[in-house]
Structure 1
Amino acid sequence: MSETRTPESRPVETWLTDMDGVLVHEEEPIPGAVEFVEALKTSGLGFLVLTNNSIFTPRDLRARLLGSGIDVPEDAIWTSALATAQFLADQRPHGTAYVVGEAGMTTALHDIGYVMTDRDPDYVVLGETRTYSFEAITRAIRLIDGGARFIATNPDPSGPSTSGKLPACGSVAALISTATGRQPYFIGKPNPLMMRSALNRIDAHSETTVMVGDRMDTDIISGLEAGLRTVLVTTGSTHPDEVETFPYRPTRVVDSIADLVALVRPRSEASAPEA
């Protein structure tokens, strides 16, 4: 009779990790983040840094992380903009889109052969931007009323800034939905499609992958629904006393990313985080 292996006993061959709240706070590195990324790079294991932020290209984000002392290769960064572009390339190759967003989104769409237009586009794509334009939002509403399909990169209602909260993609999507009666399809977390696209990007398997995040309602639920083991760090959005209020649990809860450095081992020695 063959031995039955629980999910927690399977080796870890791939790590996915959120960025904000796990590796950095704004521009400040979280203790242990540098060591964790260096351990990943020397281990030979596959890994990606994930973010719902669609403003920046992977090159931009690499520069931002480097400024914080964290050296993540450009090809190890996976954004909601890249996941959105991949989704659209699969759904309607070489299509057209009207984009409300910044370089992270427009660059990703150009790279898959999409044409940016406000004349009868296949899609209206709403991403993050630091300066939402009422004119652009109005145009998006009219195009959706005219039959364009509504896609949004992520449902986050707000984002942090040094001065306090900023309205984010989810809030603007709600405005457009109220005006049009049409709900967007959100690509980023908590949609497990974001995790699946990341796994496909590096030819990884869900059964041997761990997702590290700081939010129960995005990182952990999307990892869980994609079949990954999950680790919640309490350096970001979800506080330790909030974990029990959710109807699902991560595989493990730790204080910070520093607690995971010792668990990153070469492929031949890879082991699972304890539940």
Structure 2
Amino acid sequence: MKKPDAAPKGLLIDLDGTLYHGARRIDGADAFIADLRMAELPFRFVTNNSSASPDVVARRLEAMGIAAQARDVCTSAQAAARYIAEERPGARVFVIGEDGLREAAEEADLVLTERDPDYVLQGIDRKLTYDRIAAAVRHILAGARYVLTNPDLLLPSDDGLLPGAGSIGAMLRAASGQEPVLIGKPSAILMDYALRDLGLAAEDAWVIGDNLATDIAAGQAAGCGTVLVLTGLTTADNFEAYAEQAGCRPDAVCGDLHELRSYISAFIRR
């Protein structure tokens, strides 16, 4: 596989499986982020998670010993809200989601409504009711545009895997017959949002992640360099199978975050 031939001017870094597992920091994550700050290499933490605000995500990282600020975080909720706001400023949105998604919509000056929305904006909602699913389907059938924060069918929790936003989306798609605008990875929309936040062109950034089908696919869709770390979903043993399933391969592979630190440092020192 090809290797990046120039140092990145910024990084888009996945979180779960790349820097932590659940509430446990992956070995070397704290030092990796500290290195980036010392080298003044800009970055964003880019997550499909739509349930938590950037401030909440940053506090979680801090609790694991990974230095973070809210401004470092780009979520699928923020990107989804911005997508709608740019397409239709001040749009009326019916939200299926949690605090992070509602806050993002309000910060984008969208109007949260239960009646006659222009958009149905859907993420993960762990207090979802049948009535809200039914209402969302009625709105979509009446002409509301359907925007899905991320396609993740499952999400990790302390009690094991739980249905994710993509599983809720499967119900809405089946009932309405409409396909949503997909914002999160593997879509390039989230990556484009993070690139704009960094002020970088895609060719100047690398995407770092553990998942070929989401992180690496999204990076390639956006036109970024890609580096896979074998710290989460993808391992040396399953790499070939997952690469075939995902239909893509990264520009480089690092076994762990210590190897990634050395790999990036070698480019920076050139």
Using structure 2 for the length normalisation, give the TM-score: 0.93
Identical pairs, percent = 36
- The reply to whether residue 8 of structure 1 matches residue 4 of structure 2 is yes
8 Å Cα contact 2:3/2:251 also seen in 1: no
Contact 2:4 2:252 in 1 (8 A): no
Residue 106 of structure 2 is aligned with which of 110, 113, 119? 110
Correspondence for 2:151: 155
Q: Which residue of 1 aligns with 2:192?
A: 196
Deviation at 1:55, TM superposition (A): 0.3
1:67 aligns with 2:63: yes
Moved more, 224-233 or 116-125: 224-233
Mean alpha-carbon deviation: is it higher for 200-209 or for 48-57? 200-209
- Alignment partner, residue 121 of structure 1: 117
Change (3 A) 1:91 1:7: farther
Post-superposition shift, 1:214?
A: 0.8
Say which of 27, 33, 37 aligns to 1:31.
27
Give me the whole-angstrom Cα distance separating, in 2, the residues matched to 1:105 and 1:98: 11
Distance 1:256 1:25 in 2: 14
Name the structure 1 match of 2:268.
Answer: 270
Which residue of 1 is the match for residue 131 of structure 2? Answer: 135
1:171 and 2:167 correspond: yes
- Tell me the residue number matched to 1:51: 47
1:224–1:230 contact (8 Å) kept in structure 2: yes
Task: Specify which structure has the bigger relative contact order, considering alpha-carbon pairs within 8 angstroms and separated by 6 or more residues.
Answer: 1
Instruction: Give the match's secondary structure for 1:113.
Output: coil
Q: Does 1:257 align with 2:253?
A: no
Q: Could you tell me how far 1:242 is from its partner in structure 2?
A: 2.9
Q: What's the counterpart of residue 82 of structure 1?
A: 78
1:209 partnered with 2:205: yes
Q: Secondary structure at the match of 1:86?
A: helix
Does the 8 Å contact 2:124/2:168 carry over to 1?
Answer: no
Show the counterpart of 2:248: 248
Distance 1:271 1:56 in 2: 36
Deviations 1:38-67 (A, max 9, x none): 111121121000100000000001111111
> RMSD in angstroms over aligned alpha carbons?
1.7
Instruction: Give, in angstroms, the shift of residue 271 of structure 1.
Output: 6.1
Cα offsets for 1:243-267 (capped at 9, x unmatched): 223232101111222222234459x
Task: Specify the alignment match of 1:3 in structure 2.
Answer: none
Superposed displacement of residue 169, structure 1: 0.7
Which TM-score applies when normalising by structure 1? Answer: 0.92
Give the number of equivalent residue pairs.
265
Could you tell me how far 1:7 is from its partner in structure 2?
A: 7.2
Q: Distance in 2 between matches of 1:257 and 1:91?
A: 39
SS at match of 1:150: strand
Flag structure 1 segments of 5+ consecutive residues without an equivalent. Answer: 1-5
